[in-house]
Structure 1
Amino acid sequence: MKLWKKIEKPIDFISDAFGKIGWLIILYCMFLGVTDVFLRYVLNAPSLWISTTVQFAMVLLACVGGVYALNDDAFVKLDLFYANFSAKKKAVCDVITVVYTFLFISVLIWKGISAAKMSLMMHQVTPTSVPIPIYPLKIFIPIAAVVFLLVVIKKLVNDLITIFSSQQTDL
């Protein structure tokens, strides 16, 4: 059990770091979003790059926010039945449904790596008047998916510990 706690710590640390990055991205989007509206509608001088970088930031926010939300159990669940389940029943449901999560993450990593490779080989940039590189963003997506996978594995192990612990016997 002590070994598992040592393994959990770096995963929690990375997840918390992603949460802090997400916080900064939200501030970035808020500030530049307001700035873009001000430039466009008040000064009648629209920016050529702000909306594109805010869109990039939103993709990054989905990547880092998903990892943080999963680690902190902040995803919205269909709690119609699940909320009233005991800890063991919740763990059993989570273990059963983790198969779909593994499928989703494996496809995200697989296709994300191929998209990142292609984007990097082509030195892909935005098709706008200010060419902004896309490949750093595409490289980050499979990286975030691997971190997401680590959090899912951590949750799975904790669910298995809950299922096989002898403290509770209600199913």
Structure 2
Amino acid sequence: MLPPSPPLGGEVLRMNEGIKRVFELIDTITEKIGRPASLLVFIMTAVTTLEVVGRYVFNHPTTWAWPLNRQIFGLFILVAGAYTMSKGDHIRIEIFYGHFPPRIKLIARLITLCCFVTFMGVLVWQASWMGLNSLKMGEKITGAFRMPLYPFKILIPIFAFLFLLQGIAVICRRKD
């Protein structure tokens, strides 16, 4: 005689606990990357200050400040977006959403999830190709300052993927 199989609800509960652990891992990774990445603001500020002082005080502008700041800012936006999303601090239009019945809220969440996953998925996919091509070519910024561009282009799909995972976790966990 075979032992009785566990009830379906038990299997679903274990799966939910597994998903919950995955979501907690995503939160932890976002936290560990997001806090140090906040220091990038100070680096961008220092670079901008050096450029302004060099340009207006010494009449000797840099060739590297703005290209470097653009690359740092692009990475910062992706990491800050994931971090802000993990904290639930993105702006919501509660004036509408708060008055929706539960079924409409669920539909709105599903539409949001589909749009978010589509956009971020395309970003990860395309940025991955661009990053790999940039690495193969050893791409550098054009102009007088030939800063390597490929390290930044390699990090874009990685941070975009983290943002994608964080968004899925937040949207799926939301209870209202």
Q: Same fold (TM over 0.5)?
A: yes
Work out which of the residue numbers 2, 10, 15 in structure 1 matches 2:30: 15
Partner of 1:104: 119
Q: CA RMSD in A?
A: 2.2
- Taking only the aligned residue pairs, the percentage that are identical comes to 27
Work out which of the residue numbers 90, 93, 107 in structure 2 matches 1:75: 90
Partner of 2:8: none
Partner of 1:27: 42
Work out which of the residue numbers 51, 60, 81 in structure 2 matches 1:66: 81
Contact 1:18 1:65 (C-alpha < 8 Å) held by counterparts: no
Contact 1:18 1:67 (C-alpha < 8 Å) held by counterparts: no
* TM-score normalized by the length of structure 1: 0.82
Partner of 1:123: 138
Write the letter of the residue equivalent to 2:170.
K
In the alignment, structure 2 segments of 5+ residues that lack a partner are 1-15
Counterparts of 2:116 and 2:99, CA distance in 1 = 23
C-alpha deviations, 1:51-82, integer Å up to 9, x for none?
Answer: 22111111111111111122122222333312
* TM-score normalized by the length of structure 2: 0.80
Larger Cα Rg: Structure 1 or Structure 2? Answer: 2
- Mean CA deviation greater in 66-75 or 107-116: 66-75
Partner of 2:52: 37
Structure 2 SS opposite 1:53: helix
Write the letter of the residue equivalent to 1:95.
L
- Offset of residue 153 of structure 1: 2.4
Partner of 2:167: 152
Counterparts of 2:112 and 2:98, CA distance in 1 = 16
Counterparts of 1:92 and 1:21, CA distance in 2 = 36
Write the letter of the residue equivalent to 2:149.
I
Counterparts of 2:102 and 2:29, CA distance in 1 = 26
Partner of 1:54: 69
C-alpha deviations, 1:111-138, integer Å up to 9, x for none?
Answer: 1111112111211100021211111111
Number of corresponding residues:
161
- Offset of residue 3 of structure 1: 3.6
- Mean CA deviation greater in 146-155 or 127-136: 146-155
